């Protein structure tokens, strides 16, 4: 038996999305909660709190325009003072009336240019924040058969992306996310990993695929896609979350912990958490009825726990069982690791690093929730709208 090497856990770093700390919900209702940030500064402070308690979340992703500020350099310093760095810059081309029928794919050159310019602005933000990744999740699509020309939209998308890519710096990357559906209900212009892959390979080496774990058709084997993209050298980042139905944006690991385990097993198998790996791990969730800061703490802990379990797999024995067609033996080796309770081990690991052994309990005990609820009165709570 190989000795499990949990040292790889040291490489684990999970980026938090600023918007997870704002209000979000469904088309039916967005519930607000006391203490919700009004500004990007408060969002970053919340993210820093998660990192303080877990040691797992050193960076915060921003969303433009939701997190637009006048001085990104100052924001960068602000974050660093709180112990975190600014990470991925996410663009937004789905909330302007101009984008009703598309952005990078629009038939109207003026609208396409506006969307391209927005991405160039995002790259300028990246230059100021020191961010590496521009992440493009494109809401473009159509709702009715005939509404748009599927093929023409692809061609325009390719052209728009190529224009944006010219502005990506040598140390920067363009990461293209795909999504099965929503908000579009008939055609989504980047609906699957194949489409994202085709576009990023056409762009160049600094273009990568982003895999959001909630963005697939029912039944899709996500770990297969992880393995394939790692094999092809094009897995740029994850948007972690979980789902029972559509893009539910639940806490990662909440709906199907075994799936998360299998995904992380393939990440490790493909070198995705090795030092220097091109794979960025990020959360993308929508805390609808649950508390936000503990929701993010729970999420990064889930990723850590499942990574630890996946690292416990006895890969030598597994390979041997696979080669002899020992189906139950191979499956049993995997399940042994999954069923091992790594929580005590991780608690000790935290203690060794000066972190609270139980970050959820530590947060609850800290009185932080009550404090921000008291302090953050007045103003407008952040949400997807702003």
Site for a second copy in 254-273 (CB under 8 A): 254-259, 262, 266, 269-270
CB of 147 to a second copy, least distance (A): 5
Nearer to a second copy, 123 or 187 (CB): 187
Alpha helix locations (H) across the chain?
40-54, 72-81, 109-129, 150-165, 193-203, 222-232, 257-269, 292-311, 315-323, 327-339, 343-352, 359-366, 368-375
279 belongs to the binding site for a second copy (CB under 8 A):
no
275 belongs to the binding site for a second copy (CB under 8 A):
no
CB of 344 to a second copy, least distance (A): 10
Phi and psi (nearest 5°) for 95? Answer: -120, 5
- Measured from the Cβ of residue 67, the count of other Cβ atoms closer than 10 Å reads 26
CA–CA distance, 110 with 115 (Å, rounded to integer): 9
CB of 158 to a second copy, least distance (A): 9
- Is the CB of residue 235 less than 8 Å from the CB of residue 226? yes
Q: Under rule CB under 8 A, which residues in 324-363 are in contact with a second copy? A: 325, 327-328, 330-335, 338-341, 343, 360
Contact with a second copy (CB under 8 A): which of 1, 3, 7, 144? 144
Site string for a second copy, 160-189 (x = CB under 8 A): --------------------xxxx-xxxx-
Binding segment (CB under 8 A) for a second copy, from list 27-35, 69-77, 166-174, 369-377? 27-35
227 belongs to the binding site for a second copy (CB under 8 A):
yes
CB of 373 to a second copy, least distance (A): 15
CB of 79 to a second copy, least distance (A): 26
217 belongs to the binding site for a second copy (CB under 8 A):
yes
Distant-in-sequence contacts of 322-329, Cβ < 8 A, 24+ apart: none
- Is the CB of residue 175 less than 8 Å from the CB of residue 205? no
CA–CA distance, 374 with 210 (Å, rounded to integer): 38
Give the distance between the most distant pair of CA atoms in the chain: 66
Contact with a second copy (CB under 8 A): which of 291, 347, 366, 376? 291
What does the DSSP 8-state code read for residue 251? Answer: P
């Amino acid at each position: 038996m190989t000795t499990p090497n949990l040292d790889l856990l040291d490489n684990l770093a999970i980026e938090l999305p600023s918007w997870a700390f704002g209000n979000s919900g469904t088309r039916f209702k967005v519930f607000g909660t006391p203490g919700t940030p009004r500004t990007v500064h408060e969002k970053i402070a919340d993210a820093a709190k998660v990192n303080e308690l877990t040691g797992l979340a050193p960076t915060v992703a921003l969303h433009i325009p939701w997190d637009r500020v006048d001085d990104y350099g100052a924001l960068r310093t602000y974050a660093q003072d709180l112990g975190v760095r600014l990470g991925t810059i996410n663009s937004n081309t789905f909330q302007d009336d101009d984008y009703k029928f598309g952005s990078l794919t629009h038939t109207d050159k003026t609208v396409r240019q506006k969307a391209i310019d927005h991405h160039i602005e995002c790259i300028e933000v990246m230059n100021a924040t020191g961010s590496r990744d521009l992440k493009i999740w494109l809401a473009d699509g159509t709702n009715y058969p005939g509404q748009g020309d599927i093929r023409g939209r692809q061609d325009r998308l390719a052209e728009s992306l190529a224009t944006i890519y010219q502005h990506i710096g040598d140390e920067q990357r363009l990461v293209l996310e795909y999504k099965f559906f929503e908000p579009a209900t008939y055609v989504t212009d980047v609906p699957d990993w194949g489409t994202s892959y085709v576009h990023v390979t056409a762009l160049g080496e600094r273009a990568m695929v982003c895999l959001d774990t909630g963005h697939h058709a029912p039944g899709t084997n996500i770990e297969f896609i992880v393995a394939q993209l790692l094999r092809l050298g094009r897995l740029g980042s994850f948007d972690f979350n979980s789902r029972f139905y559509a893009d539910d944006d639940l806490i990662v690991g909440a709906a199907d912990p075994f799936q998360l385990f299998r995904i992380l097993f393939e990440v490790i198998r493909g070198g995705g958490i090795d030092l220097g790996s091109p794979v960025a791990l990020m959360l993308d969730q929508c805390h609808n009825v649950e508390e936000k800061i503990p929701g993010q703490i729970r999420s990064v802990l889930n990723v850590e726990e499942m990574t630890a379990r996946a690292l416990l797999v006895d890969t030598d024995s597994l390979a041997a069982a696979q080669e002899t067609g020992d189906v139950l033996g191979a499956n049993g080796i995997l399940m042994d690791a999954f069923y091992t309770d790594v929580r005590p081990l991780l608690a000790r690991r935290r203690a060794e690093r000066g972190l609270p052994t139980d970050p959820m309990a530590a947060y609850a005990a800290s009185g932080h929730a009550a404090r921000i609820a008291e302090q953050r009165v007045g103003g407008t709570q952040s949400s997807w709208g702003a």
